[in-house]
Structure 1
């Protein structure tokens, strides 16, 4: 059996490396363009729920609402990670209302069930659409389509390499380096097509970075927006909730909370809103932790 395309082994390997480099370049360009964002609405000042969505997706919105309600004493949590409403007053915030309604709908509702359920509520998904309109979050379907098209050259190259590999096996030719190339191509396909469920655009990254930097500056107009437990959870998730007892029960029930679009959240509290140290004892039911972060009603 003759070698296809009349190329010797070294010649084919060299051309394959060149083709692989070009295919990766195409995939990178397509990926960058998919994250460019093309919103038809001007970027305005974002509220806490919109920033939470930008930082960690719809689940982060619910986590921020939980922190807000726990601090206000409208929710209380138990050691088992269940939450219960403590007030019959309807919150003004629509996300808070959805969280309260969910906690009242089920007995001993755990946050592991509440967070994904409320994250699919219309009041949360509409936040994502508003951010898409401002070009801060990419359309998931458009990103998926772009990444699939961007990987097409890699798939074609992989198919050509497989044909050559099968031919090499048939004529008992060495295929060691070609095997390495095929494995690398397969890994690159997985890498370039990998995406988060919610992808921040470059404009969204800049908006979130500005919000984070403004949080670390004192005496800013946004100081009240980022103060307390909700301000910490907004950027870092439940893992940075300031009350140790509440944080432990929430994380035990919900598991770790992931980031959004690959950006890292705050791993510690800023100086403007101090938190309870993990080495200290947990807060009591009525006390507050740090500058503005409440204990969330305490564990029961």
Structure 2
């Protein structure tokens, strides 16, 4: 009987390992294709979406507009439009201005971010990045998620099998031979392997940034090092740093602090890593985790809102 239990444990380990490899293979098929090798010229809002998703993009717009004097961020993360501010040629900036104009007295930064999350200006950014192969839609991982769910049930079976072995041991039904001890050990390893693989795939399948997208971010950060500002335009001086590194790099700590008020996910320290969206989706580099959500602070100055960037980012490996 002990030999049968050992063989069953080995079989369970092979099944869990195979299921895990199938999930990873499907994930790589969708998101880990070889970079095209072509350059990608992205503006600061495209970089922001690629680095941190909708929230980073809106934070970038808020930082640019506040620095330009088109909006005012007061205590409590309250954002209000400045009377007489000119319309912006940037769709996302104009979306912010239109949303604020429709709300007398403005609104909190967190409410503004949530309200704009599915705005056409943001969905257009996502569609453009997806068309270039820099991000994938969460739906593209549908098969991988189904395989991951199958792995979950197989891992649950492995847990049940380990529990059965422990019960047999306690009841002295199974012997103390080496084969039974080996079965216990392999069953435990199988369970740990399944749980670790599930945790890894949960993180990886939530990341919608492709291998090429991560390469573009690496290139962009190399072209625009942290702490180095290009005064040629507001987009380069404020937009690109916030897009790539977070609100901390807006050059205005008060603005960063205020925009973080009341946001449980706020991170004014900025981030070079990935960013979690409200639904668990992550954007960013080849690491999994991190985040950047900002929100509020008085800021003024500047003469215009909405300037074009055009950061040249190579998409090589």
Name the TM-score, length of structure 1 as normaliser: 0.73
Give per-residue Cα distances to partners, 1:204-260, cap 9 Å, x unaligned.
11112111111139x999975863222221012223332121111111243425624
Partner of residue 233 from structure 1, selected from 213, 229, 242: 242
Tell whether the 8 Å contact from 1:214 to 1:220 is kept in structure 2 after alignment: no
Partner of residue 90 from structure 1, selected from 87, 90, 99: 87
1:37 deviates by 5.7
Tell whether the 8 Å contact from 1:110 to 1:253 is kept in structure 2 after alignment: no
Residues 63-72 or 208-217, more deviating = 208-217
Kindly tell me: are residues 121 and 62 of structure 1, through their superposed partners in 2, closer, same or farther at Cα, counting changes over 3 Å? same
1:163 deviates by 5.9
Flag the structure with more relative contact order, 1 or 2, with Cα contacts below 8 A and sequence separation at least 6: 2
Where do 1:67-146 residues align within 5 Å? Answer: 67-86=63-82, 87-106=84-103, 107-143=105-141, 145-146=142-143
Distance 2:117 2:146 in 1: 30
Runs of 4+ in 1 over 4 A off after TM superposition: 37-40, 165-171, 173-177, 195-198, 219-226, 264-267, 282-287
Distance 1:211 1:225 in 2: 17
Tell whether the 8 Å contact from 1:75 to 1:83 is kept in structure 2 after alignment: yes
Distance 2:22 2:245 in 1: 34
Map of 1:261 onto structure 2:
283
Tell whether the 8 Å contact from 2:135 to 2:209 is kept in structure 1 after alignment: yes
Partner of residue 147 from structure 1, selected from 144, 152, 155: 144
Where do 1:1-300 residues align within 5 Å? Answer: 7-36=3-32, 44-86=40-82, 87-106=84-103, 107-143=105-141, 145-151=142-148, 154-155=151-152, 157-158=154-155, 160-161=157-158, 164-165=161-162, 168=165, 171=168, 172=171, 177=185, 178=187, 181-182=190-191, 184-195=193-204, 199-216=208-225, 224=233, 227-254=236-263, 255-256=265-266, 259=275, 260-261=282-283, 263=285
Tell whether the 8 Å contact from 2:109 to 2:259 is kept in structure 1 after alignment: yes
1:95 deviates by 0.6
1:262 deviates by 5.0
Tell whether the 8 Å contact from 1:26 to 1:150 is kept in structure 2 after alignment: yes
Give per-residue Cα distances to partners, 1:74-108, cap 9 Å, x unaligned.
11111211111113421111111110112222224
Tell whether the 8 Å contact from 2:130 to 2:137 is kept in structure 1 after alignment: yes
Distance 1:237 1:245 in 2: 14
Distance 1:16 1:139 in 2: 33
Kindly tell me: are residues 7 and 240 of structure 1, through their superposed partners in 2, closer, same or farther at Cα, counting changes over 3 Å? farther
Residues 80-89 or 118-127, more deviating = 80-89
1:190 deviates by 3.8
Name the TM-score, length of structure 2 as normaliser: 0.70
Structure 1: runs of 5 or more not aligned: 268-281, 288-300
Residues 239-248 or 168-177, more deviating = 168-177
1:166 deviates by 6.4
Tell whether the 8 Å contact from 1:37 to 1:136 is kept in structure 2 after alignment: no
Distance 1:81 1:225 in 2: 22
